[in-house]
Amino acid sequence: MSESPKHGWRPGAAKKEHIDALAASGATVSDAGNVDEKPGVSLIASAWKRLRRDRIFLIGLTITIIFVLVAIFAPLIAPHDPTKPIPELIAKVRRQTNPIPGPEPGFPLGADDRGRDLLSRLIVGSRQTLIVCVFATIFSLLGGLILGTLAGALGGWVDSLVMRVVDILLSIPSLLLAFSVAAMAARPSQWTVIIAISIAYLPVFARLLRGSMLAQRHSDHVLAARALGVKRGAIVFRHMLPNSVGPVIVQATLVLATAVIDAAALSFLGLGNPDDRQPEWGQMLGKAQEYLADYPHMAFYPAACIIVVAFGFTLMGESLREALDPKSRR
């Protein structure tokens, strides 16, 4: 999903080599000497200047901000209690003719299979969805950061060992990896979903950071720092890591999008959080498949929410990628 040849495709670039190319593209920025930029303008400042005028980025940003605001203030916005069946709705659920009510006065989206207000569940569900995708991204980013930095900064046998394992994890399709990790959990919960997704994307971040470290190891600014006698730790954290931020942010934004979708896929296979007192969009969509033939509305709304949010994250990620890519600023 994240492939783009903009970052100097090299021949024979397999998945892992593609990630390396991505890493190198961000890392060389400081050495490239952007001729058309005024001196003293940082990469982030110049990227922001371009992004402010980018309509696609602004659409993505707006969707994301609305999503986050709804998630934060969910209990205040939701008109009903999402965990309790509403008596008027449950009365209709019990009647044989139309077990799951559609839109009713006061309940614009209708009810779910237990007579709970669907709109309230969607609003409160945004919070769990946000928690799942943000934590999954942070965990995979942190894991990848530790492994990638270790491998890239230390080199030698540490590098070989870490990268062999990472390459092998990359040789399993990420979604299948997430499924396999989730299947290890004796009792699936929200956290097993988060851990499964973060392990699936950890190798991508690890390889990305390691590639970025390697690309910088012989660059002028690192050489200069070393010549000045700066300690190795300081070189890694102050001089090398900040230069790797660009591609990592782009990748993280794209992982946010896939995490929302993957959480739904996990629920669909029965590997998600079974506790529906904590509504989550993926879980709601996974659950709704049982009723799809007769009550498509139960699946339609959570699916629409997932698509819009994932679309917003993707728009942001793609325009960030273009803004941070020195090659595209001709």
| 257: contact with other proteins by CB under 8 A | yes
Which member of 271, 298, 323, 324 binds other proteins (CB under 8 A)? 271
Residue 21 backbone zone (phi > 0: left; psi -120 to 50: alpha; other: beta): alpha
- Round to whole Å and give the CA distance between 288 and 282: 10
* Part of the chain binding other proteins (CB under 8 A), chosen from 81-89, 137-145, 208-216, 269-277: 269-277
Nearer to other proteins, 172 or 230 (CB): 172
d(CA 138, CA 143): 8
Q: Does 12 bind other proteins (CB under 8 A)?
A: yes
Q: How far is the CB of 267 from other proteins (least distance, A)?
A: 10
Closest separation in Å from C-beta 8 to other proteins: 9
- Closer CB to other proteins, residue 235 or residue 257? 257
Query: Please, which residue, 8 or 108, has the CB nearer to other proteins?
Result: 8
Q: Does 259 bind other proteins (CB under 8 A)?
A: no
Picking from 112, 133, 116, the residue whose alpha carbon sits closest to that of residue 190 is 133
Q: Using the 8-state DSSP alphabet, how is residue 291 labeled?
A: G
> CB 210 → other proteins: shortest distance, Å?
18
The full DSSP string for 5-54 is GGGT--TT--HHHHHHHHHHHHHTHHHH--TTSPTT--HHHHHHHHHHT-
d(CA 322, CA 324) in angstroms, rounded, equals: 6
> 91 or 161, CB closer to other proteins?
161
Say if CB 149 and CB 236 are below 8 A apart: yes
CA distances from 182 to 97, 225, 262 (A): 39, 44, 11
Nearer residue to other proteins within complex by CB, 235 or 265: 265
Q: How many C-beta atoms surround the C-beta of residue 266 within 10 A?
A: 27
Which listed residue (42, 98, 160, 289) binds other proteins by CB under 8 A? 289
Contact of 122 with 109, CB cutoff 8 Å: yes
CB of 103 to other proteins, least distance (A): 19
Minimum gap (Å) between residue 283 Cβ and other proteins: 12
Asked if 274 is part of the footprint of other proteins (rule: CB under 8 A), the reply reads no
Give whichever of 249 and 285 is closer to other proteins, judged by the CB atom: 285
Which of positions 159-198 make contact with other proteins (CB under 8 A)?
164-165, 167-168, 171-176, 179-180, 182-186
Closest contact distance (angstroms) between CB of 161 and other proteins is 11
Residue choice 306, 316, 323, 324 for contact with other proteins (CB under 8 A): 306
Contact yes or no for 17/209 (Cβ under 8 A): no
Residue 111 phi, psi (nearest 5): -120, 170
Residue 107's DSSP bridge partners are 104
Burial of 138 (0-12, 13-18, 19+ CB in 10 A): middle
Rounded distance, CA 261 to CA 223, Å? 43
User: Per CB under 8 A, does 13 bind other proteins?
Assistant: yes
Decide whether 41 or 308 has the Cβ nearer to other proteins: 308
Count, residues near other proteins per rule CB under 8 A: 53
Query: Which residues of the shown chain bind other proteins in the complex (CB under 8 A)?
Result: 1, 3-6, 9, 11-15, 18, 164-165, 167-168, 171-176, 179-180, 182-186, 257, 261, 264-265, 268-271, 282, 285, 289, 292-293, 296, 299, 303, 306-308, 310-311, 314-315, 318
